[in-house]
Amino acid sequence: MEKFQVSQKAKLPTRFGNFFIQSFREFKLEKECECPVEHLVVFTDKFCDAPLVRVHSECLTGDVFGSHKCDCGGELALAMEKIAQEQENGKGGMLIYLRQEGRGIGLFNKVNAYALQDKGYDTVEANEALGFKSDNRNYSLVGDIFEYYKIKKIRLLTNNPKKIEAMSKYVEVSRDSIVVPSNCYNEKYLATKKAKLGHLL
């Protein structure tokens, strides 16, 4: 069976700028589920040698509902702004939006993890109490996406050393930091990301 399919390329005007989008439909063979997962790639019309790339994992509560429990929504908006700037200066960029909610555990389990956090668990302890690894994400499709767009070198927008390591399997990576201001709700979450997940904050 094929590993993925690619949709047609379409225009997407946004409040950040005008981009193109394409969807990658990934066929995952995991456990009893063979359901396809549909990801989104947002990109500028041209790329330089090393375009600015953000690999963003879905966070419905943060990206759409403006949650203050994490920094995902702010990072997504900031990444889109930065990629729009790269479009203007002719270097180009790409945002790969991976549908792996809640660090890969799914929305239902993430809400249960939030309920544990309400009782005082931190983000890592809550995932582990539910029987998951602290980070269940998988980036195997990203290599195929880079190959599809013929990208061999990137400037990766991230604070996560594990993501740099994961991307380095597929392309040459240099890092651009992405820093959104913290608030009273996510200070502990950001501190845990720094202390337990090694984020460069």
What are the residues binding Zn ion (CB under 5 A)? 59, 62, 70, 72
**Which one is catalytic: 135, 144, 175, 176?**
135
Angle, CA 74 vertex, CA 72 and CA 80 arms, to 5°:
100
- For the bound state, the minimum distance from the C-beta of residue 57 to Zn ion, rounded and expressed in Å, comes to 8
Active-site residue flag, 135: yes
Q: Looking at beta carbons only, is 91 or 103 nearer to Zn ion?
A: 103
Active-site residue flag, 175: no
* 185 token code pair: 């709700």
Q: Looking at beta carbons only, is 70 or 145 nearer to Zn ion?
A: 70
Q: Which residues of 57-79 are buried (b: 16+ CB within 10 A; e: fewer)?
A: bbbbbbbeeebebbbbbbbbebb
- How many residues in total does the chain contain? 201
Residue with tokens 């979450």: 189
Q: Looking at beta carbons only, is 42 or 70 nearer to Zn ion?
A: 70
| Rounded Cα distance, 43 and 59, in Å | 20
| Rounded Cα distance, 177 and 63, in Å | 19
Q: Looking at beta carbons only, is 63 or 86 nearer to Zn ion?
A: 63
**Which one is catalytic: 54, 103, 137, 155?**
137
- For the bound state, the minimum distance from the C-beta of residue 187 to Zn ion, rounded and expressed in Å, comes to 15
Q: Which of 145, 111, 196, 182 is nearest to 39 (CA)?
A: 145
Indicate which residues carry an active-site annotation.
135, 137
